Amino acid sequence: MLSLASTYPYCKSWCGAAVHWLFHTSNFPTTLPCFSKFHRPFRGLSAEHFCELQKPNMTENGLGHRERVLNVDTMNPNVKRIEYAVRGPVVQRAVQIEKELKEGVKKSFTEVIKANIGDAHAMGQKPITFFRQVIALCVYPDLLEDKFPEDAKNRARRILQACGGGSLGAYSASSGIEVIRQDVAKYIEKRDSGIPSNPDDIYLSTGASDAIVTMLKLLTAGEGKTRTGVMIPIPQYPLYSAALAELAAVQISYYLDEDKCWSLDVGELRRAVKAAREHCNPRALCIINPGNPTGQVQNRQCIEDVIRFAAEEHLFLMADEVYQDNVYMEGCQFHSFKKVLFEMGPEYSSVVELASFHSTSKCYMGECGFRGGYMEVINMDPEVKLHLTKLVSVRLCPSIPGQALLDLVVNPPQPDEPSYATFIKERTANLHILSEKAKMTEQVLNTVPGIHCNPVQGAMYTFPRLTLPEKAINAAKEQEQAPDMFYCMKLLEEMGICLVPGSGFGQRDGTYHFRMTILPATEKLKIVLEKIREFHKRFTEEFS
C-alpha cells in the first residue's frame, strides 16, 4: 500500500493531512470519489495523482524543505472564486473523451459533437471571402502583386499605410489604429441613422470581452457597503460573474422573465437595486441584447424603460451588443442603446453614461480567433477618460490583425466594388442558415416531453427548461452536482453531445436548463437534436 508519510512527509495542507490518514486505513480505494464532498477538483483522481497534486506545495533545495511562495493557500482568493461554465467540467470531460476515442476506447458514439460555445468556424461556418483576402494581403504584402480583386488590394494598402512600418507586426496606438476608429465611428453613424459618433470615443479591443472587463475595472471601488455593485441579467454570460469575482465587486442579479420569452421587466430591476442598496453601492447596469444565453431580442419600449431606470437610479449603462446582426424572428428588430438614448432627447442623452460593445466574433462573421472588437463611450467624465486611456495602454494595444478584420466588418465592400456581390451573397447565406437552424432547434426541442424551448429570436443559442424527475435531482445531490450538470454530464458520457448546464449561467431556484448553440452544420445539428430527444426519454424513464 502507498505510504503518504514516507513519500510526501512535508505535505502540511489540510487536504494532505486527510490523505495521510486515509492512505493509512485498510482497503483504501484506488480512486478518490469520497473526496468530492471535500474538494470537487479531486473527484475521481487516482491516489498517486492526488498525492502528486499535493507535492508541489513544498520544495527542497540546499536550504531544506520550505513552502512555495505561491500555492493555493497564498494565491489571489478572488481567482479561486472565478467560474466559467462555457469551458467548465463538461467541456473538460469532452476533451478527455475525444482523446479516449482517438486511443481506440469503445463507446456508443464515434465523435463528440460540441454545441457548448459560439465558435462558428470550429463548427463548419466558412469565412467571408473578402475578409480573408484582405487579411492575407495585409499579412503577406507580396501578394499585392498577385491576382486579387482590386477593392481587396486597395483596402489592404489603406490598412497597411496606417500601420507602423507598413506592417501588421507593429504596435498601434493603445486605443487602436486611428483610421480604423474613424471607420468604426462612420459605421455607428450609419447604423444609428446619422446620430454622430466621435472616433475619440472609440476604443478598439481584443474582442468585446477585453473592453467589458476594462470598464468593470474602472467602475469598481469602495469597501463594505460602499463597494461597487453591478447589475447583471440572470441567466447571464459567465464573463460578467467571473470578472466581478476577480475584481471583488458585488454581483447584483436581476432575473429575465422566462414565461415572456426572457423579456426584461423594469419592475424586476427596481426590486434588485432596492435590495442591493442594503449591502453595496449599485453603480452599473449590464444589458445583453440580443441575449446570451437566452436568445431574446429586447423591443424598443423595453430599451427606453431601461434608459429611464438608469437615469433615475444614477447607473452607468453597459450595452453588450455583439449579436446585433443576429435577429431571426419576424417582428423583432435590433435597436442600439445609443440610438434610442439620443432619440429620447437631451433630458437623457446629455446625462446617461453609456458604454456599448461590439465584436468580430459573432453575427455573420464568426471570426472568434482574430479577437477584434470595440467599445464606444458616451458622456464619460473627461478626467476618467484619461484614466481609461492609461488603463488600456498598460496592455499596449489590441491585436493588429483583429483591428484589421474589424475594419472590414465596419467598412465592407460597397455596391460599386467588385467584391460586393460575393460579400452580400455570403453574408445573407450565413444569416439565413442561422435563422433556419434557430427555428428548427425550437421546433424539435418542443416536441420532447419535459423540455420547453422559447423561440430563438436572435443571437446563437437556446436555453431550454428541463423538467427532471425527483429521483434524478436526488441522484445529482448525492454526487454534489447541480441537477442540470448531472444531466449534461450523462448526456455527454452516453451520447457524445457536449452542452453547458444552465446552472453555469444562473437561473431561478428550482429550475433547470442547458445552453446549446445553434451553430453546428445543419445535418450535424439534426443529429444533436435527435440524440437529445432520445437521451431525455431514456433519462426520464431511468429516474422515474
Instruction: List C-alpha distances in Å: 15 to 21, 44, 100, 148, 229.
Output: 10, 15, 30, 62, 34
Residue 146 pLDDT > 80: yes
3-state SS of the chain: helix, strand, coil percent to 5?
Answer: 50, 15, 35
Considering the domain architecture, whether residues 186 and 295 belong to the same structural domain is answered as yes
d(CA 500, CA 193): 38
- The pLDDT, as a whole number, for residue 478 is 92
CATH of the domain at 378: 3.40.640.10
Cα-Cα end-to-end distance for the chain: 42
Considering the domain architecture, whether residues 228 and 116 belong to the same structural domain is answered as no
d(CA 11, CA 19): 9
Taking residues 68-81, report their average pLDDT. 83
Q: Say what the pTM is.
A: 0.85
Tally of domains in the chain: 3
Band of the pLDDT at 52, cuts 50, 70, 90? low
> Which of 84, 107, 137 is the C-terminal boundary of a domain?
84
Taking residues 353-370, report their average pLDDT. 91
Domain of residue 531: give its range: 87-124+431-542
For residues 514 and 505, the answer to whether their CB atoms sit within 8 Å is no
- The pLDDT, as a whole number, for residue 117 is 85
User: What percent of the chain lies above the pLDDT cut of 90?
Assistant: 73
Residue 23 pLDDT > 90: no
| Among the listed residues 191, 284, 272, the one whose alpha carbon sits nearest the alpha carbon of residue 243 | 284
- The pLDDT, as a whole number, for residue 299 is 95
The number of CA neighbours under 13 Å toward the Cβ of 269 is 26
> Which of 84, 109, 133 is the C-terminal boundary of a domain?
84
Identify which has the larger pLDDT, 258 or 15: 258
Q: What is the DSSP letter of 128?
A: P
Considering the domain architecture, whether residues 303 and 199 belong to the same structural domain is answered as yes
Tens of pLDDT along 418-466?
999 999 999 999 999 999 999 999 999 999 999 999 999 999 999 999 9
Residue 444 CB contacts under 8 Å (≥ 6 apart), including other chains: 529, 530, 533
- The pLDDT, as a whole number, for residue 4 is 40
Domain membership of residue 426 (yes or no) is no
Considering the domain architecture, whether residues 353 and 276 belong to the same structural domain is answered as yes
Establish whether the linkage from the previous residue to 77 is cis, with ω within 30° of 0. Answer: no
d(CA 76, CA 158): 45
Taking residues 227-242, report their average pLDDT. 92
d(CA 184, CA 179): 9
Domain membership of residue 188 (yes or no) is yes
Domain membership of residue 165 (yes or no) is no
Tens of pLDDT along 465-501?
999 999 999 999 999 989 999 999 999 999 999 999 9
Band of the pLDDT at 78, cuts 50, 70, 90? confident
Domain membership of residue 133 (yes or no) is no
For residues 356 and 334, the answer to whether their CB atoms sit within 8 Å is no
Name the one residue in this structure whose C-alpha cell is 452580400.
424
Considering the domain architecture, whether residues 302 and 247 belong to the same structural domain is answered as yes
Taking residues 152-164, report their average pLDDT. 95
The C-alpha cell at 417 is: 466594388
Considering the domain architecture, whether residues 525 and 402 belong to the same structural domain is answered as no
> Which of 23, 56, 84 is the C-terminal boundary of a domain?
84
- The pLDDT, as a whole number, for residue 398 is 92
Residue 48, number of CB atoms within 10 A of its CB: 10
Tens of pLDDT along 378-418?
999 999 999 999 998 888 899 999 999 999 999 999 999 99
Q: Which of 51-55, 120-124, 268-272, 396-400 has the lowest average pLDDT?
A: 51-55
Considering the domain architecture, whether residues 262 and 350 belong to the same structural domain is answered as yes
For residues 303 and 337, the answer to whether their CB atoms sit within 8 Å is yes
Domain membership of residue 423 (yes or no) is no
- The pLDDT, as a whole number, for residue 8 is 37
- The pLDDT, as a whole number, for residue 48 is 53
Considering the domain architecture, whether residues 274 and 239 belong to the same structural domain is answered as yes
State the SS3 of 63-104: CEEEECCCCCCCCCHHHHCCCCHHHCHHHHHHHHHHHHHHCC
For residues 85 and 500, the answer to whether their CB atoms sit within 8 Å is yes
Band of the pLDDT at 84, cuts 50, 70, 90? confident
Domain membership of residue 455 (yes or no) is yes
Considering the domain architecture, whether residues 440 and 356 belong to the same structural domain is answered as no
The C-alpha cell at 22 is: 486515509
Considering the domain architecture, whether residues 327 and 209 belong to the same structural domain is answered as yes
Considering the domain architecture, whether residues 531 and 438 belong to the same structural domain is answered as yes
- The pLDDT, as a whole number, for residue 486 is 94
Q: What is the DSSP letter of 257?
A: B
Residue 230, strand partner residues: 251, 284
Mean pLDDT of the chain: 87
Helices (H) and strands (E) in the chain, counts: 20, 16
Domain membership of residue 187 (yes or no) is yes
Considering the domain architecture, whether residues 77 and 98 belong to the same structural domain is answered as no
Domain membership of residue 44 (yes or no) is yes
d(CA 312, CA 320): 21
The C-alpha cell at 366 is: 464568426
Taking residues 179-208, report their average pLDDT. 95
